[in-house]
Amino acid sequence: MESRLLVTGGAGFIGSNFVHHWCKTHPNHQVVVLDALTYAGNKETLADLQDRENFRFVQGDICDRSLVDSLLKEEDIDTVAHLAAESHVDRSILGPSAFVQTNVVGTFTLLEAFKNHYPSVGQNANRRCIFLHVSTDEVYGSLGPEDPAFTETTPYAPNSPYSASKAGSDHLARAYYHTYGVPTIITNCSNNYGPYHFPEKLIPLMCINMLLGKQLPVYGDGQNIRDWLYVIDHCQALDTIIHKGKPGETYNIGGNNEVKNIDLVKILCKIMDSLGSDLPVQPCEKLITFVKDRPGHDRRYAIDATKINNELGWQPSVTIEEGLCQTVEWYLNNRNWWEPLLSEEYQTYYRKVYSNS
Ligand code: NAD
Ligand code: TYD
């Protein structure tokens, strides 16, 4: 059965990778992207899809209930992949209000609209309806060095305005299944990396700063640990869950790749040294600078992805070595994608976060 998919946040990092993945693997399915094109959204990323008959891009806000209602109805949507969000921890520290608005109120708006809409979907055709709520491992809080990895039953303990707002949205998605029977599925994923990642996040920031000969700012002592997953593997997991996941369930998604920030930055430096030519500063490690720590900086995240592996047969396919090489190569070859993103707004943001270091 061909599904009719609404992807929110489809012009962002994971959303755009997911839309490309879906259009390639399900070429006959209808895909509608709803994205507000905030600073993090980039329509150019979807330019190659614009002429497809079964692709539509709509610029709009997930908090706009009448727009969401009319899109669900007009497009006869049976599946929502909800990826629209304010997603950067440092921005949530500077200005939490947009996080509560988009992540909590926006998710609530989508859930309300889908609750009203989905019972009327293909009443005679027995179509599968799913609201996939894409979330983060950060809702589980911070782990100590010896703690076991997060499972689907780890209690929530969010520490940043970003993770608190995501936790709130997860609770709403859960409640809409339990109270109203809306077929929601929640995913909590570890840190993603890969193409089309906005420059403010660790890996693209380091790649771009190496190409520009700028300092590589490592927060605190650089010993914080993240669990890294190549974005295409995440997209494959979301696809698997849309097709085989059970409504009402949560699935943790992770790459089983725990790396300390400082080690990750050093690996990126080595890859850039070997792939880049005419770099402004070499070896790139010379650019590493320890800077003031992020307030409330979570020490360690780690995902236990046993459930999705055992129940749905998903596991990551790209090793961290391959994924990081492909990512560095992508930033080397796609200056025309990232250069325009280093806007005045971005420079102002950058100064606010890094100038007191
Ligand atoms: P992103 O910031 O790159 O993209 C977010 C997209 O949402 C942008 O295109 C933006 O324009 C859009 N958007 C923001 N507010 C909107 C609104 N009110 N209405 C409509 N569109 C709006 O984020 P990302 O890294 O692609 O993350 C996508 C989702 O995955 C988020 O829910 C995030 O919490 C989750 N997640 C991200 C990671 C990661 O490592 N990046 C890991 C786990 C989970
Ligand atoms: P980030 O990419 O912002 O993801 P998250 O905070 O959601 O995990 O940061 C990843 C890690 O890298 C995190 O521990 C903070 C750290 N970091 C730096 O050390 N320097 C930087 O300039 C940035 C952006 C992040």
Q: What is the DSSP string of 309-351?
A: HHHH-----S-HHHHHHHHHHHHHH-HHHHGGGS-HHHHHHHH
CA distances from 248 to 85, 115, 172, 186, 251 (A): 21, 14, 12, 8, 10
| Residues 227 and 302: beta-carbon distance below 8 Å | yes
CA distance 269 to 282: 9
Q: What is the pLDDT of residue 154?
A: 98
Q: Counting atoms of ligand 2 from 1, which one is nearest the CA of 220?
A: 19
Q: Can you read off the two tokens belonging to residue 106?
A: 């926006």
Q: Identify which ligand lies nearest to the alpha carbon of 40.
A: 1
Ligand 2 centroid – CA 89 distance (Å): 8
Pick from 6, 7, 13 the residue to mutate for probing ligand 1's pocket: most ligand atoms within 8 Å of its CB.
Answer: 13
Q: Active-site positions?
A: 137-138, 162
Ligand 1 centroid – CA 238 distance (Å): 15
- Residue whose CA is closest, atom 5 of ligand 2? 89
Q: What is the pTM of this model?
A: 0.98
CA atoms within 13 A on the CB side of 150: 31
CA distance 54 to 259: 40
- Residue whose CA is closest, atom 24 of ligand 2? 202
Alpha helices, H only, 153-245 = 161-180, 202-212, 231-244
Ligand 1 centroid – CA 63 distance (Å): 14
Place of tokens 């990895």: 149
Alpha helices, H only, 217-281 = 231-244, 261-275
Q: Evaluate: CB of 141 within 6 angstroms of ligand 2.
A: no
Q: What is the pLDDT of residue 2?
A: 84
Ligand 1 centroid – CA 336 distance (Å): 22
Q: What is the mean pLDDT of each run of 10 residues along the chain (357 residues)?
A: 93 98 96 98 96 96 98 97 98 98 98 97 81 98 98 98 98 98 98 98 98 98 98 98 98 96 98 96 98 97 98 97 98 97 97 87
- Residue whose CA is closest, atom 35 of ligand 1? 135
Q: What is the pLDDT of residue 357?
A: 63
Q: What is the pLDDT of residue 247?
A: 98
Q: What is the pLDDT of residue 124?
A: 61
- Domains of the chain (ranges, CATH numbers): 4-197+230-256+296-317 (3.40.50.720)
Pick from 19, 34, 38 the residue to mutate for probing ligand 1's pocket: most ligand atoms within 8 Å of its CB.
Answer: 38
